[in-house]
Structure formats: C-alpha cells, structure tokens
Structure 1
C-alpha cells in the first residue's frame, strides 16, 4: 500500500495543510517546530490511534483552541488496486445542563469514517487492520521506524523473530553430545517415560536450589550452636570417687546430729500452744455472748428509729418551706386585690386625645364596659389563685406540722432512752484476759525457749552437712554434663550428615540447571544462526552470559560499526539505527506480507537510506526551510 495524500485541519497548531505523496518515497524538510512530527503523528493517529512520539492520551487538539474540529484525512492506494480514504474528526462536546444558562465543556469525541462513510470505532479498527494486513501492534512495527527495537519488549521481539525464522525442535537440540545427561534430570519422579519440559524443570530446580541454599546457610550456624553448648571435659572416675567419699562423710554427720528430736518437740509445743489459745478465745467469748446479743438487738432498734426520725424531719422541713411559700403568695395576692379595687373610671378617657372634644356616647360606654370587664377578670383570677393559698389551708398545714414535730420529739426521746440502755448493757461486759498473759501460755513458751537454745548447739554440724550436700550437687551436675556432651556430639554428627546430603543434592540440582542453561545456549545459538541468516547486515543477540555462568534471555539487535565490530542497537549512532530499522521492517514485511509506508524521523542523520520495497517518508530537520517542504522520490538518493 502507498500513501497518496494527507490533509490536516486545525491539527496540533496546523490550521490547514495538504501533502501530496503521490505514492512515492519522499522527504519532508523543515526547521524545528514547523510541523514535521505533527505530520507523522497525524498518520499514526489515523492508522493506530496513537502518536509516533509515544505520548500517552494523545490529542490532536490545538492548545487553547475551543469549538473547532480537528481533522485528519489520508488517501491510501491498496496493493491490489483501489483507493481508500481514512478520516477522523476530533472535537469538543458541550452540554447545557438543566437549569444552566450556558453550556459547558463535558468532554471530547471522535468521529471515524472510511471513504466518507461514518464508522464505529471498533469497525474502523477492524477495517484498518484488514487494509494493512495485521494487528495494531504489527501496523506500528511495520510503519514506525524503531518501534520494533525500542518500544517492543524483548519477549515480544523474540516471539516475532521465531515466527519469522522458525524455531528449532527440542528433539533436534537434545541430540547434542553435551546434553546426553539431561534426560535423567527431566524424567518425572515415579515414571519411566514422562519428562518435564526444560522451562518446567528449570522452574522446579530453581526453587529446589533456593531451598537447599537456605537450608545449607543455616546448618553451619546450628552446628556452631551445638559446639558452643558443649560442656567442658571432666574426669569422670575422679568425680565418682570423690562423690562416694562425700556420701560417707554425710552419713557420719547425720548420725552425730540429735537436733531433729528437739525440733520435733518444739514443733509439737507450738502446735499445743495454738490449740490452747483457740480454746481460751472461745471460752472468753462465751462470757459476754448474752450481753453482746442484747446490745446488738438494741443497736438495730436504735438504727431503725433514727431512720424514721430522719424521714419525719425531712417532711417537717419541706412542710415549713411550703407554708412560707403559701404565705408569701397570699400576701402578694392581697396587695394585687387592693390595687385592683382602688382603680376607678377616669372621665378623661371620654375625651379624644387628638382634638380634645368629648367622644360619642356609644364609644364612651364601650370603653367603660371594657374597663369594668378587665377589673372583673383580674378579681376572678386573684380569687382563683387565692384558693390555693388560703388562710385556712395555711393553718391546716401548720397544725399538721405541729403533729409531725410531736412525733419527732417522741422518737428522739425513745432513741436517747435506747442509748442509755445500751450503755448500761455494755457496763455489764466482763474483761477478757489475753491468752499470752495466762500461766499455761507462759509455761509452754519457756519450754520452747529452752529447747531452741539446746538445738542451736548443733548448728555447726548442720552447716557441715549443708556444705557436703552442695559439693555433691556440683559433682552430680558435672557427671550429668558427660551425658549432655554425648547427646550434643550425636546431634552434631547428625547435622553434618544432613549438611553433606544437602550439599550433594545442591550439586546435583546445579548440574541439572547447568545442563538446562547449556540446552538454552545450544538452542539459542541454532536459533540465532537461523534468524541472522535472514538479515544482510544486522544480527540479533538472544542471550547474555551472566557473571555466575548462567544466561539471561534478551533480544537485542547488533549493528556493524565501520571497523567491522558489532555494536548493540542502543549504543549505535542514529544513522545506523535508522538503516537497521529499515532492514528489520523489510524482512518482517516480506514474512507477514505487509507492505506499509515507513515513517523515518531524524532522517537528516543518514547520508543514504537502506533500500526497501516499502514507501519511505523521511522527516528531516533543515534550518533552510521555515515552512514544510516535500521532495518526491525522483529527487532523492537511496542506496541499493
């Protein structure tokens, strides 16, 4: 397919522009900010919905512009003949909300059309993919120079190259003599003819290796812990001999010690003293049992009467407050009554206050009637309120308070009488003699003191026995450490055996991983040769050797430098990158049958472009041209 003509309207600062490609290779010249990249962005936007610059959320809108349609239209000549017109129209969406005076910007929308016929976005995309012969990603790969090497992930680049050049079957790779030991590692446990794939086994082996390394890292520390807990060596024969001698000495000391009988006698005397004391307390308590019961009964009765007295006194206090309130209110009502009855009709009310003339008789009569009615209403109110605080009610309440006061006085006298009875009863209590002052207690205490003094004479013997016991405990502890040391040695031997077994397992796993890496190296070498055979000047590196001897998958283009050495794509100069990109597009286009025009940015860096069958549109920075200038193929140079 070829680009014939591009038309832009209000597109990223370009008010109106038409470019006639005529289906030929062409160069677009212009100084900075003249619209070269905008032209490339417009073509990419029409084909893929994104910009050649890779900016996210690309918008063709001119900054600061409103109420404009931002349009792009591209005429394309199909490989089989015929012309297709792709067009997009991007514009603002203004909405007038209910109750609002003016419309406001609520978003943007894009209209799609093919040959002037409106399309839904998904139908437009399907039609473009059918026109170009591939997916949106493949369209970008085939039309945007550098997209394959700079934007695609390495995994996607590798996948595409394998599609183009073909993969190498694993069975063919396994025939290599270097991999003869690999099948035994790939064999699934418990089977005789089922094998893991290389990637599956490698994933399992990597986990096993990490686990084994982790376990091996902890084993030296665990062995050191056991060694550090190893007790100091001792002479078992000498310790056992000393222990036997100490046991004999202890037996002799025990035989010579007679303090045990004295201690038992002291213990018995103290128990007898406690029993006698308890009995004495019980007997003394019975002496005053009846009197204490009588005192308790009278105190309970006094407490009940004091509670009743408190309740009556509260009632009296509240009653007196009520009498005072009623008397005060009665006096206020009497004063209000005197004020009301003293009020008389004022004849001046029959004279108009404005003109000074006498009011009509009917008005005077109406005012007099209203005055008298108001007096009657006030008197009725005072009488009604007076019923609530009448003198009779006040006197009745005072009489009730006098009765309650009498009850209170009577209760108070009874309480005082009860207190007198309680005091008299307490006077009848007998004096309790403490047990410690009795002759029996003094006699037992003297005997205990005598036996204690006799027992202290045996203190030296007891100290010797204690010293002997302490030394025997030390020897038994040292003898126990011998058994502990034997157990620790057994545990160390067990850990060392585990360490050896784990190291052997790790060595086996790492050998399997080495063979997997060797498989990948052989496969990559074979695949790399197959891939590179499709390209004239560039080649691809599909893996890199790691410092630890492993390999890391990659997919980087290598470009020849002037001295013949191969340079990674990212380190090459712009011209080399551009020609490498053209070669990649040429090979991929031939395989996938896609013949899309190629957009070449920064083309001014290249003296001569690599020749490809696709239409090439190159963008060149040139200070000579202040406006875009298009030069067609008959005036361009391209290498064969």
Structure 2
C-alpha cells in the first residue's frame, strides 16, 4: 500500500536564527532569501522535529538561538510544530526544548541545569520512545533522507550503500542467471561449484603465476644441459661395428697363441686371470671418469635451479614495480586534493562578516532602520554567517583529514614497495653472482681422477704387475709367437680406445632424455596456462555480462539517470563503484548544479515508487535550474535571492528564469 506524506504547516519559535515563523505549504512552495537568511534552517527544523538531526544528518548542532558573541540565548523555549497530512489524514507533531533553571538553597540566583525536550502528537504528550516509534511508523529515517533530499543518495552515501539499495530494487541476479544468459558461459557451471567468481579468479591467477614461473625456468635448464652434451663427431654405430671386429680379431689371435705356444692349463688360467684383472682395471677407471664427469652435471643442475629462482624474482620485481607506480600515482592525486582542501580552508577562514548597505534600509518604504533594529539585524546576520562559516570549515577539515590519512596510507605502501623492491633486487644480484660463479666453474671444469688413492685399483694393479712379470719370464718363442703377441697388444689398445668413446653415448643419451622430458613439460605447462587464460576470459565475460544485466535492469527504472558500476583504470584494471551518470557525465565530477538537482529528483521518483512512499522534497539552491523534471511528491524550493534580505514565501510554480537571476 502506497503512502503520501504532505507537509501542510511548519511553525518555528526561537529555532536557530528564526524567532517566530509559520509557513503554510502547498504542493509547490518557494522560499526565497539571500545567503544566511534562514532557508536551510527551515529544512533543519523539519528534520530536527522528526529525527533530532539537521538536514545534513548531523545530530550535534546549535538548535537554540545565539547572540552576537555566538553564545546561546537563555530563558527562551525552542519549539517546532508541523502539520502532516498522511494519506489524507492530518497529524500534528510538536517538539519543545525547554531550559531547566534551579535555585539552590542559600543562593539568590537560579542556575542553568540543561535543557529537556518534550514531545507531542496531536497535542497529546508522548515519551521520547513512543514519539520515535510513531515517527518510524510514518517513515523510517534512512528512507526519509533518500526521499526528501535530492543530494543525499549521490553525495552522502558510499557507493556500496548506493549499490545495495539499487540491487534491492531489482532482486538478486544469481550466477546461474548470468550463465543462462549466454551459451558460451556454460562451462562456468562446474567451475563455480562451492565458490563465487572472485574466488575463482583469485585461484586462476595464483595457479597461472606458478605455472608461468615453472615454464620460464625450463629454457635456461635446457640450455645448460645442451652445453653439457659431448659434441665430438662420433659415429656410435660404426664404433659398435668396429668393436665387434676387434673382439673377433682378439679371439682369433688368442686362439692362435694358445695353439702355437701349446700352453698348459696353468698358463692359460694365468693369462685368463690377467685379462680379467686388466678388464677390472678398465672398469674402475671408467667409473672414476664417470664420477668426475658427475661434478659437471651437479654444477649444471645448480645453475638450472638458480635460473628458476632468477626468473621468479624477475617476475616479482616487475609486479612490485607496477604496484609501486600505481600507488605513486594515487598518492600524487591525493596530495593535490589535500593541497586544494587546505587552500580552500584558508580561503574560507579569511572571510569576514560585512553588513550589506541595503540592510540598513527598509526594502519596502526605503527608510533607514533604527540603530537598534540595525544592530539586531546585524547580530542575527553575523551569527548566521559565523555558524555557516564554522560548519563549512569543519566539513573541509574533515575531508582534509580523511584525504591526509588516505595519502599517508599510500605513502606507506610506496615505502613498503621500495623496501620489497630493494630486497628483491639485492636477492637477484646475489643469485646472478652465484650463477656467474657456477658458470665460471663449469666453463673451467676439468676431468681429473685419482687412482693412486684407490685401494682396490692399486691392489689389482699389483696383481697385474705380478702376473705380467711371471708370464714375461724368458721362454723359447719363435718369430710367429712374437708377432701374435704384438698384434694382440695392438688390438687391446684399439679396443680400449673404442670402449672409451662408446662411454660418451650413455651420458649423452641420459642428457637428451632429460632435455626431451623438460621440453615436453614446457609444452604441458603452456597448454595449462592457455587453459587458465580461457577460464579467466570466461570469468571476465561473466563479470561483464553480470554488470550489463544489472545495469540494464537498474537503468530501465530511471528516466534520466544511468548508473556505472565499473570503471577501467589507467593500468588496465577495473575499479568497482556505483556512479550516477547523466548523458554519460559522472555526478561526482563534471555535472552542473542544475543537472545534479534533476538527477536527484529522478532518483527520488524511482525510490518513491520502490518504497511506495511520497514525502516532501526540499531542493536547496533551486535557482541553479529553471526547469525541474516532473515529480509526484510535494516540493519545497529553497531559492537564493539577493534582493530578499528576509525570507519570502510563495506557493505555486517557481518564478521565471530572469527573476531567479536577480
């Protein structure tokens, strides 16, 4: 059920700078007056009567009248009374602030002991709790502020509060609603199980960052492994073929020797043992070479590990630099804002009250006022001037403090960024130095083996020497036997050379297998990163779609105002918000006063329809616009008119533009 609230009459007695004033309101009421004549005081009186606050939502403000020294005028009662018509039924509200004076025993004069408020509904006294409950039944305070002040929604509320109100008008747009609106968003159904879109994006970014670091560490590791491969031009197949021929030749020579020398079984066993011992020596030598070669592999692995750490540090440094530059830019903008507010405060503080010349002359009969009336008028105007100046300075100071605190926060962030950057760069330099040192080691690496300290080798070598000495004892041999032995020695040397070269193949095979493994891993990581990019693209499309649905649904409810919920930043990021726009111009920046008023009226019209309540709208600085958009609620125009040194009240349509300018 809708509710219409109309302000029929408002009476002020000793309220702020107004001694006694009664206003009969119509559907459109115009209140004219120069600055500091009391236009805003009327709105303050109405909000004080209802909620014990002024029209700027401030609960602590001077309600009682002040004298020329800006001190409270005592022994007068402050009273505000209003007649409200609610759905055609009148209700009388009255609030009385009465000072309490008590004369203590033994003293001749009374002492002031504060002021107490009394509340009345239709002339029936009410307790404060009962009065507040009744007002809340008529209209809740937060809704009243939204429906009576065109500036409240756009200037007094945070963007989060504005967004919550607007979202309440259209209902919740669920993730499923967004997914169903576009077929390509269907894959998000599985991704958004038990998490929202923000959590999904954070998870994707964290996973991608790790994958990118892992991928960037692979190329340096592959390069180091490729450097470790033996690049001699060796045909291993040809070597295998050659070895088979050498072994066959060796067998033939040995068979001939056995046959020629007719060695007995003992001699054969000794030679067989000698051959086995020499083979064992070759195996030990080969093992020692492999151990020595492993030192180079260990250095290559250490370099590969350092490259991974270096790549990760470079990534972190780049991120920190971007974050620092963004914080510096925000801090710079805040410094400008703080300076502008400081200049504004000094400019306002320097203003002094000057009594206008025409304040000494009656505007009707053009006769000079009596000095007593002039002084009274001057005190009233100066009091209003001081009160207004104090309020403005307080507001500027509050804004300056807020901006200064925010500036310090961003300066601290910049310092933290610089510290983190220094630490990261120092760490990077340290890692690069370690890498250079290891690279120097691998470049100058030489394979050296120590067989002198190998007890097993030395023991076998001793056995070989003993057997050779035993077998070298002079025996009668013919020329053919000597030739066979020389041939055998030649074959053994050739076989040793072939076996040594074949040893490179196994090391190269292991290295190539590791390179292939790393390259496959790099492809796998690239695919995983590409898959995450697709998921993030889906998330961005989801957010964009949700904003479009939300903006479309909300903006369809307004005739003139549109709302922007996201703003693209210089660094490419997105900043969330809830900014009213008129023809694309933001309310908070470049919108002129007249357009602001009409934007506020459009917002009130929609909110009135949403809440089902129409309440009196007080439009301050109404002179800034000559054409007001259609509105169903009662309108009270507060118009700055330099020619009206005292309040002038008219009912009906506002005066023409040329009169407003006078």
TM-score, reference length from structure 2: 0.50
Shift of 1:585: 0.6
Per-residue CA deviation, residues 118-145 of structure 1 (Å, 9 max, x unaligned), is 333333222112213xx21111000112
Q: Which residue of 1 aligns with 2:175?
A: 170
Shift of 1:171: 1.8
In 1, the alpha carbon distance for the partners of 2:39 and 2:574 equals 43
Q: Which residue of 1 aligns with 2:60?
A: 57
Is contact 2:9–2:24 with CA below 8 Å preserved after alignment? Answer: yes
**Secondary structure of the residue that 1:236 maps to in structure 2?**
coil
Q: Which residue of 2 aligns with 1:9?
A: 13
Shift of 1:597: 0.7
The correspondence for 2:587, drawn from 569, 575, 598, is 569
Q: Which residue of 1 aligns with 2:117?
A: 110
**Secondary structure of the residue that 2:559 maps to in structure 1?**
coil
Shift of 1:245: 8.8
Q: Which residue of 2 aligns with 1:18?
A: 22
Is contact 1:219–1:499 with CA below 8 Å preserved after alignment? Answer: no
Alignment of 1:219-368 (within 5 A): 220=311, 221=313, 224=432, 227-230=435-438, 231-237=441-447, 239-240=448-449
The correspondence for 2:152, drawn from 135, 147, 150, is 147
Q: Which residue of 1 aligns with 2:610?
A: 591
Per-residue CA deviation, residues 259-318 of structure 1 (Å, 9 max, x unaligned), is xxxxxxxxxxxxxxxxxxxxxxxxxxxxxxxxxxxxxxxxxxxxxxxxxxxxxxxxxxxx
In 2, the alpha carbon distance for the partners of 1:87 and 1:211 equals 68
The correspondence for 2:36, drawn from 10, 33, 38, is 33
In 2, the alpha carbon distance for the partners of 1:519 and 1:225 equals 46
**Secondary structure of the residue that 2:9 maps to in structure 1?**
strand
In 2, the alpha carbon distance for the partners of 1:495 and 1:89 equals 85
Is contact 1:514–1:550 with CA below 8 Å preserved after alignment? Answer: no
**Secondary structure of the residue that 2:613 maps to in structure 1?**
coil
Q: Which residue of 2 aligns with 1:123?
A: 130
Distance 1:166 1:500, change over 3 A: same
Is contact 1:41–1:50 with CA below 8 Å preserved after alignment? Answer: yes
User: What stretches of structure 2 of length at least 5 have no aligned partner?
Assistant: 217-307, 314-427, 455-513, 658-662
Rg (Cα) greater in structure = 1
In 2, the alpha carbon distance for the partners of 1:67 and 1:12 equals 14
Shift of 1:224: 4.0
Q: Which residue of 2 aligns with 1:68?
A: 76
In 2, the alpha carbon distance for the partners of 1:87 and 1:533 equals 41
Distance 1:577 1:235, change over 3 A: closer
In 2, the alpha carbon distance for the partners of 1:246 and 1:119 equals 109
The answer to whether 1:539 aligns with 2:562 is yes
The answer to whether 1:158 aligns with 2:163 is yes
TM-score, reference length from structure 1: 0.52
Shift of 1:77: 0.8
**Secondary structure of the residue that 1:111 maps to in structure 2?**
strand
Alignment of 1:427-438 (within 5 A): none
Shift of 1:105: 4.8
The alignment covers a number of residue pairs equal to 380
User: What stretches of structure 1 of length at least 5 have no aligned partner?
Assistant: 188-194, 248-490, 561-565
**Secondary structure of the residue that 1:126 maps to in structure 2?**
helix
Shift of 1:233: 3.8
In 2, the alpha carbon distance for the partners of 1:42 and 1:591 equals 27
Shift of 1:165: 3.3
Is contact 2:12–2:20 with CA below 8 Å preserved after alignment? Answer: yes
Distance 1:108 1:233, change over 3 A: farther
Shift of 1:509: 5.8
In 2, the alpha carbon distance for the partners of 1:3 and 1:75 equals 6
Query: What do you get for the CA RMSD once the two structures are aligned?
Result: 4.1
Is contact 2:561–2:599 with CA below 8 Å preserved after alignment? Answer: yes
Q: Which residue of 2 aligns with 1:449?
A: none
Is contact 2:30–2:654 with CA below 8 Å preserved after alignment? Answer: no
Is contact 2:34–2:645 with CA below 8 Å preserved after alignment? Answer: yes
Shift of 1:635: 6.5
Distance 1:498 1:526, change over 3 A: same
Is contact 2:622–2:637 with CA below 8 Å preserved after alignment? Answer: yes
The correspondence for 1:44, drawn from 40, 44, 47, is 47
Shift of 1:58: 2.6
Shift of 1:106: 5.2
Distance 1:598 1:211, change over 3 A: farther
Per-residue CA deviation, residues 361-413 of structure 1 (Å, 9 max, x unaligned), is xxxxxxxxxxxxxxxxxxxxxxxxxxxxxxxxxxxxxxxxxxxxxxxxxxxxx
Is contact 1:167–1:527 with CA below 8 Å preserved after alignment? Answer: no
Shift of 1:615: 0.3
